[in-house]
Amino acid sequence: MGAGVTKSGGSGGSRRRRSRRSGGQPMSEINVTPFVDVMLVLLIIFMVAAPMLTVGVPVELPKTAAQALPSETEEPLTVTLGADGTVTLQTTPIAREDLVPRLQAIAAERADDRVFLRADGTVPYEQVAQIMGALNAGGFSSIGLVTDIGGPAFDGQGN
């Protein structure tokens, strides 16, 4: 484990050297194998413990009847939520209580379950989530949120 003494081997008059050390001097090299073993154990301990140290931000999320979102391809349906709370299906205004039955009728005729949701930026998140739940209850589980370009870039290099 530590330093040791080496003996020079071979015939008495031979000038061949096996190493730079002369016979009888202590080895001054460090054995790094135990150091590497300890470092690997510490690495594994920190890799296991680090995810347990993260803490989430508490948020009161709205409740919806949403399910998982599979993806398929076809011309999607568009639902618009206006700033005043009005709901428009394609270009036809519709009452909120009529939205789910109308969507169920449309979903029965369509092979694709994709729908685009356009919502005004001033509409509260809860109303958007409720419309998304209604879209899901109506048979559309692939919901795309439509946005406009030119928003803030959170990379610190722009607007």
What is the rounded CA–CA span in Å between residue 140 and residue 77? Answer: 9
Q: Are 61 and 40 in contact (CB under 8 A)?
A: no
- The CATH topology of domain 77-146 is Nucleotidyltransferase; domain 5 (3.30.420)
Say whether pTM exceeds 0.75.
Answer: no
Residue scoring higher pLDDT (16 or 131): 131
Residue scoring higher pLDDT (1 or 143): 143
Domain definitions of the chain by residue range: 1-54, 77-146
Question: pLDDT tens digits for 52-109?
Answer: 765 443 444 444 454 444 445 555 688 888 888 888 888 888 898 898 999 888 888 8
